[in-house]
């Protein structure tokens, strides 16, 4: 699963120590014919050394098959920013009470999504939306982040949760001050940005650089597309044909991330309002319309990527759909009817066998290239 082989912190240091011990032994006894080179000094006490091993500088990962990642297109993503961003992404000091990091809601093993319908922020506050996965995120068809697209870049996006009172609950200034107060971070800001200044734009850019390296590709569907006819089972191949054909899923779930990056109403969250009430009351969450102020966007949300979707139930912007099979089954009847439902929903009628085949195909979209774990040590 891992794209970059992780150097085990401590392994190199203990090898060096062993060498040093051997050298000392050799010097004492004067026995050995084989000259043992003097071991370089190992300043284990210096905190930077431990930090280096805990979060090593790595080359940008080779994009896996099918991932749209293209490092030349994002020259601001550098290994040094990625390293710094990896610390920040997992650092709870970015939240007002020190309890949450980005990774609290975007868990690596769940494609950087969450297993709960809605997020719980600091002090147990309930959010209203599901945390989406973060995969191939720096390479969208259209740059629009959040379910309603209110952020236009990954770096802009990263500031959102920090300052959201019910997520990390900080102010942007407060979060920057908290990180600025950590002297141990300064050398890494210098490495990434040329000097030690710590501000919210640099914090956001470093986090975005780290997110940019969370890629997904080399799924069985990617290998099938690349010509390996044995990569998909018969059911998965039927599902694939439906997805791109009669099911019309690819009208919206298209391109390398299986999303058009646009906003559509498929009826999630609709509850018919009482007679006489304005119809938009049927949506607790107006979605894109709250950002675009265009009533036609009522109840419309960004088409999510379907890469690795089997890994992060529940589904949809409000996490209201428990399983992948239930999510696909909603399309049997072309989504939930409501006054703003997309005309692009043309899948139905789908048989239950069609649903199973589609679910099988979606499972073949599980890829690799994003897995990670928190750095073992953080700057102090």
Q: Which residues are catalytic?
A: 167
Q: How far is the CB of 279 from ligand HEC (least distance, A)?
A: 17
Residue 367 binds ligand HEC, judged by CB under 6 A: no
How far apart (Å, rounded) are the C-alpha atoms in residues 185 and 179? 7
Q: Are 192 and 202 in contact (CB under 8 A)?
A: yes
* Closer residue to ligand HEC, CB minimum distance, 82 or 266: 266
Q: Which of 61, 63, 117, 161 binds ligand HEC (CB under 6 A)?
A: 161
Q: How far is the CB of 13 from ligand HEC (least distance, A)?
A: 31
Residue 341 binds ligand HEC, judged by CB under 6 A: no
* Closer residue to ligand HEC, CB minimum distance, 53 or 249: 249
Residue 282 binds ligand HEC, judged by CB under 6 A: no
Residue 309 binds ligand HEC, judged by CB under 6 A: yes
How far apart (Å, rounded) are the C-alpha atoms in residues 148 and 146? 5
* Closer residue to ligand HEC, CB minimum distance, 53 or 355: 355
Residue 146 binds ligand HEC, judged by CB under 6 A: yes
Nearest CA among 136, 166, 160 for reference residue 147? 160
Q: Which residues contact residue 300 at a Cβ distance below 8 angstroms, ignoring those fewer than 6 apart? A: 263, 264, 265, 287, 288, 289, 340, 342
* Closer residue to ligand HEC, CB minimum distance, 162 or 286: 162
* Closer residue to ligand HEC, CB minimum distance, 9 or 67: 67
Residue 153 binds ligand HEC, judged by CB under 6 A: no
Q: What angle do CA 23, 24, 26 make, to 5 degrees?
A: 65
Handedness of CA 175, 318, 340, 154 (dihedral sign): positive
Residue 331 binds ligand HEC, judged by CB under 6 A: yes
* Number of other CB atoms surrounding residue 308 within 10 Å: 23
Q: Which residues contact residue 318 at a Cβ distance below 8 angstroms, ignoring those fewer than 6 apart? A: 117, 118, 128, 129, 130, 268, 269, 285
Q: Which residues contact residue 157 at a Cβ distance below 8 angstroms, ignoring those fewer than 6 apart? A: 145, 146, 151, 208
Q: Which of 304, 363, 367, 379 binds ligand HEC (CB under 6 A)?
A: 304
Q: How far is the CB of 220 from ligand HEC (least distance, A)?
A: 17
Pick the piece of the chain touching ligand HEC (CB under 6 A) from 6-14, 21-29, 46-54, 98-106.
98-106
x/- track of binding to ligand HEC for residues 20-39 (CB under 6 A): --------------------
Q: Which of 84, 105, 176, 215 binds ligand HEC (CB under 6 A)?
A: 105
How far apart (Å, rounded) are the C-alpha atoms in residues 258 and 303? 9
How far apart (Å, rounded) are the C-alpha atoms in residues 19 and 38? 8
Which class for 5: exposed (0-12), middle (13-18), buried (19 or more C-beta within 10 A)?
exposed
Residue ranges in 198-227 that form contacts with ligand HEC under rule CB under 6 A: 207, 211
Residue 136 binds ligand HEC, judged by CB under 6 A: no
* Closer residue to ligand HEC, CB minimum distance, 9 or 112: 112
Residue 251 binds ligand HEC, judged by CB under 6 A: yes
Kindly state the number of chain residues that form the binding site for ligand HEC, as judged by CB under 6 A. Answer: 52
How far apart (Å, rounded) are the C-alpha atoms in residues 192 and 199? 13
In sequence order, the β-bridge partners of residue 270 are: 283
Q: Which of 81, 106, 180, 214 binds ligand HEC (CB under 6 A)?
A: 106
Handedness of CA 225, 229, 230, 236 (dihedral sign): positive
In sequence order, the β-bridge partners of residue 120 are: 126
Q: Which of 213, 218, 237, 342 binds ligand HEC (CB under 6 A)?
A: 342
Q: Are 210 and 57 in contact (CB under 8 A)?
A: no
Residues in the chain: 380
Q: How far is the CB of 247 from ligand HEC (least distance, A)?
A: 4
Residues lying near ligand HEC in the complex (CB under 6 A): 94, 100, 102, 104-106, 119, 121, 127, 129, 131-132, 134, 137, 145-147, 154, 157-158, 161-162, 167-168, 207, 211, 247-249, 251-253, 264, 266, 268, 301, 303-304, 306, 309, 315-317, 324, 327-328, 331, 342, 344-345, 347, 358
């Amino acid at each position: 699963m891992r794209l970059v082989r992780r150097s085990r912190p401590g392994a190199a240091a203990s090898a060096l120590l062993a060498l040093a011990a051997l050298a000392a032994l050799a010097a004492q006894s004067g026995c050995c014919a084989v000259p043992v080179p003097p071991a370089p000094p190992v300043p284990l006490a210096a905190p930077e050394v431990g930090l280096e091993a805990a979060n090593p500088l790595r080359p940008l990962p080779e994009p896996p098959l099918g991932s749209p990642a293209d490092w030349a297109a994002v020259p601001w993503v550098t290994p040094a920013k990625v390293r710094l961003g990896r610390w920040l992404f997992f650092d709870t000091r970015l939240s007002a009470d020190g309890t949450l990091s980005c990774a609290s809601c975007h868990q690596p093993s769940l494609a950087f999504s969450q297993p709960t319908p809605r997020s719980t922020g600091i002090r147990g506050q309930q959010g209203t939306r599901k945390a989406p996965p973060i995969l191939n995120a720096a390479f969208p068809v259209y740059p629009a982040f959040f379910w309603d697209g209110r952020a236009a870049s990954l770096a802009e996006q990263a500031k959102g949760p920090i300052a959201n009172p019910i997520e990390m609950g900080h102010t942007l200034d407060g979060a920057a001050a908290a990180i600025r107060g950590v002297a141990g971070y300064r050398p890494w800001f210098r490495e990434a940005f040329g000097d030690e200044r710590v501000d919210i734009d640099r914090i956001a850019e470093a986090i975005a650089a780290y997110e940019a390296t969370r890629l997904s590709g080399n799924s069985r569907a990617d290998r099938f597309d690349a010509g390996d006819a044995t990569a998909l089972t018969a059911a998965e191949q039927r599902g694939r044909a439906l997805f791109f054909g009669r099911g019309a899923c690819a009208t919206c779930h298209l391109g390398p991330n299986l999303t058009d990056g646009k906003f559509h109403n498929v009826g999630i969250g609709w509850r018919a309002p009482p007679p006489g009430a304005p119809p938009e009351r049927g949506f607790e969450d107006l979605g894109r319309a709250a950002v675009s102020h265009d009533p036609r966007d009522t109840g419309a949300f960004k088409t999510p990527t379907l890469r690795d979707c089997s890994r992060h139930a529940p589904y949809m912007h409000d996490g209201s759909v428990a399983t992948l099979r239930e999510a696909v089954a909603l399309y049997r009847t072309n989504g939930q009817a409501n006054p703003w439902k997309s005309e692009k929903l043309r899948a139905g009628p789908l048989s239950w066998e069609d649903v199973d085949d589609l679910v099988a195909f979606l499972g073949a979209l599980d890829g690799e290239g994003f897995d990670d774990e928190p750095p073992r040590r953080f700057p102090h």
